[in-house]
Structure 1
């Protein structure tokens, strides 16, 4: 089952945290970032996808060294739609933040300073997206189908968070 299917499943499953309101908040936040930076929404979605791949690598490392519960705890702690520099610092070293900014800049044409300013907003959104698969009654239980699907991805780039956001946007009509 693909990531988008997992997300739709979370939206309709009362035992998972995902809901249309949560997805709508994510899409609205991305639109606000687009408005704030002057970048079109597809550029912001590209930024989200690239940052999402770095988040995946960081969470995979956390999972490998500290277990799935630690990865879920990070997602739960920092997921949101408000800027949170601590979310960025918890996942990326200063050197890695610079690397992320440079990679995004090369792929989108946005300057690295703008990207570094966006990271505290983008990282919580990625984590919020991943949190939607967590158990609604016990988010720390580690049974997050979306996070598991995201972390077990084969890295071939066929279905990533950018694709899922585009599909969710179309699904919500935004």
Structure 2
């Protein structure tokens, strides 16, 4: 899986921000969210897949309107494990939020309103995963390493199902020896 390979490459590259600790924090946040909302891991995986697909589409639109650098800046600004309603409103219209919630509800059986409540946590988690390929703050500036290869792999997916956030997180869990996701 190209995206996960890019994440592993970023973990092994000291000039990029990724770390095993970052992956572990992302997985733990998803697991805590699953517990808080009383959902099982497979339901959370399905939800992450739907959210990841919408985030990819939103970031692709942002890149086409505002350019790559603004898209990377958005990922950097809103990635994390803290709730951020701005991360949702900056990517999606209210109509898109409702479409996402309806599709996720159909696929998971969760209440659409509960899904909308979870989005300010889920979107920053996806962005945090994408930020892993960003240049580390102490890394020397180099045009060849200034692009975020994790974000590039995510945005340039051709829609064939190869890039799926839930699959990436499952692989990350295996990589870290955590089988809970």
Name the TM tier (shorter chain).
Answer: over 0.9
Residue number in structure 2 paired with 1:109? 109
Does 1:164 pair with 2:168?
Answer: yes
Give the distance between the partners of 1:42 and 1:165, measured in 2 at CA: 12
Give the distance between the partners of 1:172 and 1:55, measured in 2 at CA: 25
Question: Is the Cα contact below 8 Å between 1:30 and 1:41 reproduced in 2?
Answer: no
Give the distance between the partners of 1:137 and 1:143, measured in 2 at CA: 13
Give the distance between the partners of 2:51 and 2:77, measured in 1 at CA: 18
Give the distance between the partners of 1:30 and 1:143, measured in 2 at CA: 27
Closer/same/farther in 2, CA of residues 66 and 106 from structure 1, 3 Å limit: same
Give the distance between the partners of 2:138 and 2:70, measured in 1 at CA: 14
Residue number in structure 1 paired with 2:59? 59
Give the distance between the partners of 2:130 and 2:83, measured in 1 at CA: 16
* CA drift at 1:66: 1.2
Alignment of 1:17-166 (within 5 A): 17-137=17-137, 143-166=147-170
Structure 1: runs of 5+ lacking an equivalent: none
Deviations, residues 119-172 of structure 1 (Å, cap 9, x unaligned): 000000000000000111389985100000000001111331111110001111
Give the distance between the partners of 1:54 and 1:138, measured in 2 at CA: 32
Question: Is the Cα contact below 8 Å between 2:16 and 2:135 reproduced in 1?
Answer: yes
Give the distance between the partners of 2:161 and 2:114, measured in 1 at CA: 25
After TM superposition, what 4+ stretches of structure 1 lie above 2 angstroms from structure 2? 137-142
Question: Is the Cα contact below 8 Å between 2:15 and 2:138 reproduced in 1?
Answer: no
Greater helix share, 1 or 2? 1
Question: Is the Cα contact below 8 Å between 1:82 and 1:124 reproduced in 2?
Answer: yes
* CA drift at 1:45: 1.8
Structure 2: runs of 5+ lacking an equivalent: none
